[in-house]
Amino acid sequence: MTSLASTATASAGPIGVLTLTALAVTLGYLAVCMIRPFRRCRRCHGIGRRRSLILRVGRTCRRCNGNGEHLRAGRVVINYLRELHDKGTPR
Ligand SMILES: [Zn+2]
């Protein structure tokens, strides 16, 4: 007679797999936001200047103010929450 205790495995099921995947993606994105808070500007591709449509004159990118970089959306949220925590409510 074989023992059934050794064959019992814990299966997560599809909801468990989805939850773990979402958790892994979220934690990975937060790690990226902590390590590299800035990303390249999509409009000027990190150059900081754009050519205007009509005269094709080079101008400073209005989206990134010529920096060529943007703060990631996740980092904006982290900074907001940190600022909210630092202000706090006096007790
Ligand atoms: Zn730009």
Spell out the per-residue pLDDT of the chain, length 91, in tens: 555 555 556 677 899 999 999 999 999 999 999 999 999 999 999 999 888 877 778 889 999 999 999 999 999 999 999 999 999 876 6
Q: 3-state class of 77 per DSSP?
A: helix
CA of 84 to the centre of ligand 1 (A): 28
CA of 58 to the centre of ligand 1 (A): 12
Helix 13-35 and helix 73-87: axis angle, to 10°? 80
Predicted local distance difference test score (pLDDT) of residue 25: 96
- The dihedral sign for the CA sequence 44, 45, 47, 48: positive
Predicted local distance difference test score (pLDDT) of residue 7: 59
Contact (CB, 8 A) for 64 and 49: no
Ranges of H-type helices in the chain: 13-35, 73-87
CA of 40 to the centre of ligand 1 (A): 8
pTM of the model: 0.65
Domain boundaries of the chain, sorted by first residue? 39-91
